[in-house]
């Protein structure tokens, strides 16, 4: 275990990175440390522990903006938002149970990895919610981008670039995010007994309807059985779940319409507040695959391609999968083996368009299998130039995304 650098001020953060740059000492950036098992394993000398940059700095609910230290625990942010009946609309996941991490996730970590939950189909991704940031680049320079207002096109949108950069461009220490009103009511319409192909059609019909569905998932029977929600677990059938959120009368009316719309296709049930929230937490946190030893792929692809993907993979691999994002996000578990079935998974994805990320596997496998979809050569070259523009000596999370980034 290396000894961590733990800067307490921005000056100290700059000095720490200066030190790393001067001697080319590669650093692993951590906030809470909950996502250390994600991405490619790195060869680093030191950990750069950013956990001192914490606390909510400004929160004005009526401006829909919150500014906080990047390492502020998500739980703290969510508690503060909850008090004002607001939320992070992109529904950041907690992969603690999935990855066996004890530490809690931080806001900066959620943004750096751009991992969005079920509401992504309606409210956008993490990347759509970062309004501005302060960071120190791999050039050991403190800089900022964006602002603290919800509408801003001043200068290049570096917020987008930093979101999903997995700490390879700069060390975030303060972020401003867009927050949204929390829905008054949440319900979920369940439709039972459809196979994957029929499910894709049903999910598509639901999100193409004007009923403003804010979550659209499908669990095959075996995975539904793992739910803590009795209505789901005890059904003994595959489950389609359609979440409806908003003001009371509207939620009731829309649920009724959806029930009528899907009644001809299967048995119908409706989850109310607590059950509905529990169910979508499970989908968000990939609970159906927590606590098993298989390798896990997170596959983003055109929504109609979900069923074809799993049937193609099944031709060569024993696998189990569920859909989120109306079929546009497939969580696929396969036996870890030596390579987590990478060849079969990636060739199936390549044929359909999209990308597969190896979200959970041993570090040995993540060393030999590219964790992120290998980009086209021109994109790889451009990404390398971008990395160099922020971090020319490659001291920030080197190799976390790709071998040379």
Partner 1 sequence: MKMPTPDEFTIARRAEIAAGLREIIGEAYVMADDASLKTYESDALSAYRQMPMLVALPGDTAEVSRLLAYCAQHDVKVVPRGAGTGLSGGALPLADAVTIGLGRFNRILEIDYANRSAVVQPGVANLAISKAMDAAGFYYAPDPSSQIACSIGGNVAENSGGVHCLKYGLTTNNLLGVEMVLMGGEVIRIGGKQFDSDGYDLLGVITGSEGMLGIITEVTVRILPKPPVAQALLMGFATTDSAGQCVAGIIAAGIIPAGLELMDGPAIKAAEEFCHAGYPLEAAAILICELDGPEVEVEELVRRVGDIATACDATSLRVSDSEAERQRFWLGRKSAFPAAGRIAPDYYVMDGTIPRRCLSQVLNRIAELSAEYGLQVANVFHAGDGNLHPLILYDSNVPGELERTEEMGGKILKLCVEVGGVLTGEHGVGVEKRDLMGEMFTEIDLKQQQRVKCAFDSEHLLNPGKVFPELHRCAELGRMHVHGGQTPFPDLPRF
Q: What is the DSSP string of 199-219?
A: HHHHHHHHHHSTT-EEEEEEE
Find the shortest distance in angstroms from Cβ 254 to partner 1: 6
C-alpha triplet 371, 377, 379: angle, nearest 5°: 75
Q: Which of 103/180 has CB closer to partner 1?
A: 180
Q: Which of 232/270 has CB closer to partner 1?
A: 270
**79 makes contact with partner 1 (CB under 8 A):** no
Both tokens assigned to 8? 């307490």
Q: Which of 311/389 has CB closer to partner 1?
A: 389
- Pattern of binders to partner 1 over 191-220, x per CB under 8 A? -------------x--xxxxxx--------
Q: For residues 274-293, which are near partner 1 according to CB under 8 A?
A: none
Which region among 118-126, 234-242, 261-269, 275-283 touches partner 1 (by CB under 8 A)? 118-126
Q: For residues 256-275, which are near partner 1 according to CB under 8 A?
A: none
Name the residue among 313, 81, 71, 40 with its Cα closest to residue 172: 71
Residues 176, 67 contacting (CB under 8 angstroms): yes
Q: Which of 215/235 has CB closer to partner 1?
A: 215
**301 makes contact with partner 1 (CB under 8 A):** yes
Q: For residues 236-255, which are near partner 1 according to CB under 8 A?
A: 246-247, 249-250, 253-254
- For 119, 203, 257, the CA distances from 254, given in Å and listed in that order, are 17, 15, 5
Find the shortest distance in angstroms from Cβ 174 to partner 1: 14
Find the shortest distance in angstroms from Cβ 235 to partner 1: 27
**355 makes contact with partner 1 (CB under 8 A):** yes
Among residues 12, 267, 292, 404, the one that binds partner 1 under rule CB under 8 A? 12
Number of neighbouring beta carbons within 10 Å of residue 4? 14
Residue 303 gets which letter from DSSP?
A: G
Which region among 54-62, 103-111, 230-238, 361-369 touches partner 1 (by CB under 8 A)? 54-62
Find the shortest distance in angstroms from Cβ 60 to partner 1: 7
Which region among 74-82, 92-100, 117-125, 335-343 touches partner 1 (by CB under 8 A)? 117-125
Find the shortest distance in angstroms from Cβ 398 to partner 1: 15
Find the shortest distance in angstroms from Cβ 46 to partner 1: 8
**60 makes contact with partner 1 (CB under 8 A):** yes
Q: Which of 193/204 has CB closer to partner 1?
A: 204
Distance in angstroms (rounded) separating the CA atoms of residues 282 and 69: 28
- Tell me the chain's radius of gyration from C-alpha atoms: 21
Q: What is the DSSP string of 38-52?
A: SS-----SEEEE-TT
Among residues 193, 272, 278, 300, the one that binds partner 1 under rule CB under 8 A? 300
Find the shortest distance in angstroms from Cβ 228 to partner 1: 27
Q: For residues 357-396, which are near partner 1 according to CB under 8 A?
A: 357, 372-373, 375-376, 378-379, 382-383, 385-386, 388-390, 392-393
Find the shortest distance in angstroms from Cβ 397 to partner 1: 13
Residues 199, 193 contacting (CB under 8 angstroms): no
Name the residue among 235, 245, 233 with its Cα closest to residue 183: 245
Q: For partner 1, how many residues bind (rule: CB under 8 A)?
A: 101
Q: For residues 135-194, which are near partner 1 according to CB under 8 A?
A: 137, 139-145, 147-161, 163-165, 180-182, 184
Torsion of CA 92, 176, 109, 353, to 10 degrees: 60
Both tokens assigned to 338? 């030596």
Torsion of CA 307, 310, 311, 316, to 10 degrees: 170
- For 284, 373, 378, the CA distances from 300, given in Å and listed in that order, are 14, 11, 21
- For 122, 223, 267, the CA distances from 264, given in Å and listed in that order, are 26, 24, 8
């Amino acid at each position: 275990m290396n000894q961590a650098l733990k800067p307490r001020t921005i000056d100290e953060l700059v000095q720490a990175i200066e030190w790393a740059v001067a001697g080319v000492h590669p650093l692993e950036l951590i906030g809470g440390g909950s996502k250390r098992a994600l991405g490619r394993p790195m060869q680093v000398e030191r950990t750069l522990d950013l956990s001192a940059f914490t606390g909510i700095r400004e929160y004005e609910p009526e401006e829909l903006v919150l500014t906080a230290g990047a390492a502020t625990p998500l739980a703290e942010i969510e508690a503060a938002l909850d008090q004002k009946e607001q939320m992070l609309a992109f529904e950041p996941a907690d992969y603690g149970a999935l990855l066996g991490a004890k530490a809690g996730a931080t806001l900066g970590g959620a943004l750096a990895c751009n991992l969005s939950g079920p509401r992504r189909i309606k409210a956008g991704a993490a990347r759509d919610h970062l309004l501005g940031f302060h960071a120190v680049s791999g050039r050991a320079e403190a800089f900022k981008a964006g602002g603290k207002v919800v509408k801003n096109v001043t200068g290049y949108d570096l917020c987008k670039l930093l979101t999903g950069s997995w700490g390879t461009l700069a060390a975030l220490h303060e972020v401003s995010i867009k927050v949204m009103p929390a829905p008054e009511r949440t319900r979920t319409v369940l439709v039972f007994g459809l196979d994957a192909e029929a499910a894709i059609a049903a999910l598509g019909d639901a999100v193409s309807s004007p009923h403003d569905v804010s979550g659209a998932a499908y669990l095959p029977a075996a995975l539904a059985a793992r739910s803590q929600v009795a209505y789901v677990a005890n059904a003994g059938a595959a489950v389609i779940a359609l979440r409806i959120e908003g003001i009371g009368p509207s939620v009731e009316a829309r649920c009724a319409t959806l029930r009528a719309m899907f009644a001809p296709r299967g048995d119908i049930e409706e989850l109310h507040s607590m059950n509905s929230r529990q169910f979508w937490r499970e989908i968000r946190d990939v609970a159906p695959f927590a606590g098993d030893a298989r390798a896990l792929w997170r596959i983003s692809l055109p929504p109609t391609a979900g069923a074809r993907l799993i049937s193609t993979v099944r031709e060569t691999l024993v696998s189990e999968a569920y859909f989120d994002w109306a079929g546009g996000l497939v969580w696929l578990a396969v036996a870890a083996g030596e390579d987590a079935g990478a060849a079969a998974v990636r060739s199936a994805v390549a044929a359909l368009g999209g990308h597969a990320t190896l979200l959970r596997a041993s570090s040995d496998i993540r060393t030999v299998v590219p964790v992120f979809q290998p980009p086209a050569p021109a994109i790889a070259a451009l990404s390398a130039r971008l990395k160099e523009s922020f971090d020319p000596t490659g001291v920030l999370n080197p190799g976390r995304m790709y071998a040379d980034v």
